[in-house]
Amino acid sequence: MRGRNVQAASSASSSSIFSHFWASALRTKPLISPSDGFYNRTNSGEVLERRLGVVDLVLLGVGASIGAGIFVVTGTVARDAGPGVTVSFGLAGVSCILNALCYAELATRFPPVVGGAYMYAYTAFNELTAFLVFAQLMLDYHIGAASIARSLAGYIVSFLEIFPLFKDNIPNWLGNGQEFFGGVVSINVLAPVLLALLTFILCWGVGESSTINSIMTSLKVIIVVCVIFAGAFEVDVSNWSPFSPNGLQSVLTGATVVFFAYVGFDAVANSAEESKSPRRDLPIGIIGSLLICIALYIGVCLVITGMVPYYLLGEDAPLAEAFTSKGLKFVSFLISVGAIAGLTTTLLVGLYVQSRLYLGLGRDGLLPSFFSEVDAKHHTPITSQVWVGIVAGVLAGLFNIHSLSRILSVGTLTGYSVVSACVVTLRWKDKTASQVSSSTWREGVICLVVVACCGFGAGLFYRVGWPWVSIVAAVFALLAAIALHFRHIHGDVPGFPCPGVPFVPALCIFFNMFLFAQLHQEAWVRFVVVSIITVIVYAFYGQFHANPEGSGVYFRVQG
């Protein structure tokens, strides 16, 4: 009898633990309408300083997206797609514009506070989903920052070796990496130093760091424009024929590769709390920066494939080699300067975004409270910023991060897909309880899941050479989107409305998952492993400390 009681008590205890976990995981963050004029802040009462105007936001987005990739990726993909790489960049750009429209709607309808995709998921879905989105994004950001820092160190060393004083006099451990223990450890001293310098600038103040980003971004944009104009006079139109030598499939495959050259516009959404007029400026910053990037990429593609036959393009520095082959070595020098400026701004914005995400989770209690601290003098999250710099510095200083590039982009594609889904589900939440029942909600979520699964399935079948099956999966995804359209009334939203809801968000989800299927298998394993670890961390810490509503007062702001 006593054994039965003990067993019953144990069963009740287990049930209670599971019930608490489930109840916590399904909590959502209340959405305060921007029309109310009240927004969140840190627990200490200190707020981030609103110093970013529309030009700053546009340059922030361009700075995050245009890095050394414009001087490398364009030529690398052109070797397979030929001059059709221009179409690849155009298709990828259109896809990113659709994603940007989703970001723009959420940026205007949410209170202008830090969080981005994490905050959107917290409100539209639940606490655990938001924590999972954060974890996947953050791993991408950490590895990406370390990888960019090492690349920047290498570019600086290569630039210095142009001068006779430094030629062959810079040791590998300083900038290029000195490998030990069979390559497991790769020492690089310059990369952590660069990260420390940029971390200091970001801790100094958002105005100062924005000024540096604006200067560096303007410099690299000017250099790219000069490169395009200089190359235009060397174009031989006969090099554009055949336009797609390896067929349409190579162009489509190229689009899946160059898609990641555009990522970065989400950095604008994460700067909401530091925007002077967020409801007006955030959509302009998100979409405007993306349009500028599309124009620059297409211009470079036309020039590089017109100057040199696509099959003669180099692998490491195709743009610089193309100009050198035409005797324009001074342009190659400009390209080196542009690459350094591009990597610097990409790294600066990446570190900036990471610290703001940590700040958001610290405020909500999903991470320790010291991440939510904002310095009273500089109005920057110094603790979060230093933590981000330390993590990136350790990775960049001790490991060959390029070997981890195969597991990158998982967080980006996951975050973009969740943001698109948030647009649809938050339109449902605008309706009264009588209009959106729990069963209708479940049906809507099931339709979104079907779209995502069809996108992943279409990507897999396309990958193994069964394009017709991919078309069938696309048809099923379209039927699910039509079901969303007819079964749910999607209300209007204040600010910037994403057009074509639910079809545009559904198309974003489909294509993002299509790209997800193109990633290496190690990336899929990483997604599963990181998700499991995140759930464990949430179970032992997050669920007991999270506070979706926060504490303290709200501050009225303009915009």
- Residue 458 in any domain: the answer is yes
CA–CA distance, 431 with 490 (Å, rounded to integer): 8
Domain coverage including residue 486:
53-545
Percentage of the residues of the chain whose pLDDT score is greater than 70: 89
Question: Is 33 a residue whose pLDDT tops 70?
Answer: no
CA–CA distance, 68 with 335 (Å, rounded to integer): 9
pLDDT in tens, 372-386: 999 888 889 999 999
- Residue 8 in any domain: the answer is no
- Residue 347 in any domain: the answer is yes
pLDDT in tens, 280-308: 899 999 999 999 999 999 999 999 999 98
- Residue 6 in any domain: the answer is no
Best CA proximity match to 494, nearest among 271, 267, 280, 272: 280
- Residue 408 in any domain: the answer is yes
Half-sphere exposure of 482 (CA within 13 A, CB side): 6
CA–CA distance, 505 with 423 (Å, rounded to integer): 7
What pLDDT shows up at residue 333?
A: 85
Query: Where residue 451 sits, what CATH number does that domain have?
Result: 1.20.1740.10
Best CA proximity match to 272, nearest among 422, 111, 419: 111
- Residue 214 in any domain: the answer is yes
Question: Is 524 a residue whose pLDDT tops 50?
Answer: yes
When divided into structural domains, the chain yields a total of 1
- Residue 14 in any domain: the answer is no
What pLDDT shows up at residue 32?
A: 64
pLDDT in tens, 396-439: 999 877 667 778 789 999 999 999 999 999 888 665 444 556 77
Under 8 Å between Cβ of 412 and 92: no
- 25: region left, alpha or beta (phi > 0 left; psi from -120 to 50 alpha): alpha
- Contacts (Cβ under 8 Å, ≥6 apart) of 179: 185, 186, 187, 400
Best CA proximity match to 264, nearest among 154, 385, 380, 345: 345
- Residue 145 in any domain: the answer is yes
Q: Could you tell me the pLDDT band of residue 42, with boundaries at 50, 70 and 90? A: very low
Q: Give me the chain's average pLDDT, please.
A: 86
pLDDT in tens, 159-194: 888 888 888 788 888 877 788 877 778 899 999 999
Residue range 96-111: mean pLDDT, rounded? 90
Separation of CA 164 from chain center: 40
What pLDDT shows up at residue 79?
A: 86
